[in-house]
Amino acid sequence: MSFGNMPIANRFVTEHEFEGEYFFELAPAFCAECGTLQLVEQPDPAEMFHDQYAFFSRTSASMQVHFAGYADWVMQHYLGQEPFVVELGSNDGIMLENFARAGVRHLGVEPSENVAKVAREYGVNTLCSFFTPDAATAIRGEHGAANAIIAANVMCHIPDLNAIGEAADILLKPDGVLIFEDPYLGSMIEKNSYDQLYDEHVYIFSLRSVQSIFGRQGFEVVDVLEQGTHGGSMRYVLARAGSRACSDTVGRLRAQESRLGLDNPATYDRFRENCESNRAALVSLLRELKTTGARIVGYAATSKSTTVLNYCGIDSSLIEYISDTTPIKQGRYTPGTHIPVRPHADFVEYYPDYAVLFAWNHAKEIMSKETAYADAGGKWITFVPKVEIKQA
């Protein structure tokens, strides 16, 4: 299936950059043999992760709480004597700072220098690099083998997972674990949240696909834990085959995936049809509201919004601007559709009639802090799982 030409989701542009933006075809494909949903065309990682990377994990209060919980759980279950923990794609250090505070030896491996710099300011040891077999050899030489390699919303960004399996095998202790969580294919299909598909999300994993990809490298999934983050995620715990006992939850989730139809190619045909109907409903609602003279803005210039805006062909004729709290995005324009991104203060100063909630996964956090907007009569437009107007 194709969602058409897409720009890089996190490349918020200046007016000078309107010409010559990088586009690629966003075309996910399902492999019935291994159960993997992946992008056919994968943009060069260097186009996505660099010293201007616009996603800072600390922008959400609820994610700070989530990562503190994730770190505590790892410390409780997976750290033996003299532990050493390595995080892949450690961003601004939101998770590792919890290990740093607990005095656990740690290292973040993060390819974008601007976010790595912030992590160091929080006392997080960070190496600016992609995680490759060579990097793993160098880290092991300098710091010793790791008890745990952890990641969140990172593994699905990495095109060459064979190299990750190889690198993990180099770096981990014999009973070491590789733990990661990412948006879950089952949730995307259930909620029709097609905006999970963008350049950075090369894969949308299911348990079956993780078993198949990492099984080739000698790893097996020994536990799975459902997460509410990013609109429905799954945490996978992997160990070298036979090195650890396997939880019953793994078999239960596989059975549930079959019941949901995740193994069946017809599910993805239905998903594509649902995306088309969702697009038609969103565009016609925005057009209709515009004809009544309503002011409509976007709330949160998320990566996900790049897919929605470009797939639906929504530009500043329908959405006046998008409010976002990330300084690097403010004053710039959305990739491909060139809607201005403005600071949250602009939203508060002059409330619109409608706000399209692009960070729908943070709806609870956002609606609970925007009660003054709702009290002033402001309404939310959401599009996951279906297009509707909500008065919080």
Q: Is 35 or 231 the residue whose CB approaches ligand TYD more closely?
A: 231
State which of residues 13, 202, 366, 384 lies at the interface with ligand TYD (CB under 6 A).
Answer: 366
| 355-373 exposure pattern, b = at least 16 Cβ within 10 A, e = fewer | bbbbbbbbbeebeeebeeb
Binding flag, residue 365, ligand TYD (CB under 6 A): yes
289: helix, strand or coil: helix
Segment interacting with ligand TYD, rule: CB under 6 A, options 25-33, 170-178, 255-263, 361-369: 361-369
Residue 59 C-beta: closest distance to ligand TYD, Å: 4
Residue 306 C-beta: closest distance to ligand TYD, Å: 8
State which of residues 326, 330, 334, 337 lies at the interface with ligand TYD (CB under 6 A).
Answer: 326
**Could you tell me the two tokens for 123?**
């006392």
Binding flag, residue 334, ligand TYD (CB under 6 A): no
Query: Quick check: 49 and 112 in contact, CB under 8 A?
Result: yes
Residue 254 phi, psi dihedral angles, 5° rounding? -60, -40
Q: Which residues contact 169 (CB under 8 A, 6 or more apart)?
A: 217, 218, 240
Segment interacting with ligand TYD, rule: CB under 6 A, options 105-113, 163-171, 280-288, 325-333: 325-333
Binding flag, residue 192, ligand TYD (CB under 6 A): no
Q: How many whole angstroms separate alpha carbon 26 and alpha carbon 6?
A: 6
Binding flag, residue 325, ligand TYD (CB under 6 A): yes
Q: How many whole angstroms separate alpha carbon 87 and alpha carbon 74?
A: 12
239-258 residues near ligand TYD, rule: CB under 6 A: none
Q: Count other C-beta atoms under 10 Å from residue 116's C-beta.
A: 23
**Could you tell me the two tokens for 233?**
């995620």
Binding flag, residue 210, ligand TYD (CB under 6 A): no
State which of residues 98, 303, 330, 337 lies at the interface with ligand TYD (CB under 6 A).
Answer: 303
Q: What is the CA radius of gyration of the chain?
A: 21
| 32-66 exposure pattern, b = at least 16 Cβ within 10 A, e = fewer | eeebbbbbeeebebeebbeeebbbbbbbbeebbeb
State which of residues 262, 311, 362, 378 lies at the interface with ligand TYD (CB under 6 A).
Answer: 362
Q: Is 36 or 303 the residue whose CB approaches ligand TYD more closely?
A: 303
Q: Is the peptide bond between 385 and the residue preceding it cis, with omega within 30 degrees of 0?
A: yes
Q: How many whole angstroms separate alpha carbon 85 and alpha carbon 166?
A: 17
Q: Which residues contact 77 (CB under 8 A, 6 or more apart)?
A: none
Residue 328 C-beta: closest distance to ligand TYD, Å: 9
Using CB under 6 A, count the residues that bind ligand TYD: 17
Using CB under 6 A as the criterion, what x/- string covers residues 49-88 for binding ligand TYD? ------x---xx----------------------------
Query: Quick check: 133 and 170 in contact, CB under 8 A?
Result: yes
Segment interacting with ligand TYD, rule: CB under 6 A, options 91-99, 250-258, 263-271, 323-331: 323-331
Residue 370 C-beta: closest distance to ligand TYD, Å: 8
Q: What angle do CA 238, 242, 246 make, to 5 degrees?
A: 60
Binding flag, residue 156, ligand TYD (CB under 6 A): no
Using CB under 6 A as the criterion, what x/- string covers residues 261-300 for binding ligand TYD? ---------------------------------------x
Residue whose pair of structure tokens reads 């710039």 in the numeric block: 332
Q: Is 37 or 156 the residue whose CB approaches ligand TYD more closely?
A: 156
Q: Is 166 or 320 the residue whose CB approaches ligand TYD more closely?
A: 320
Q: What angle do CA 98, 103, 109 make, to 5 degrees?
A: 60
Binding flag, residue 38, ligand TYD (CB under 6 A): no
Binding flag, residue 8, ligand TYD (CB under 6 A): no
Residue 302 C-beta: closest distance to ligand TYD, Å: 3
Binding flag, residue 387, ligand TYD (CB under 6 A): no
| Footprint on this chain of ligand TYD (rule: CB under 6 A) | 55, 59-60, 300-304, 324-326, 329, 359, 361-362, 365-366
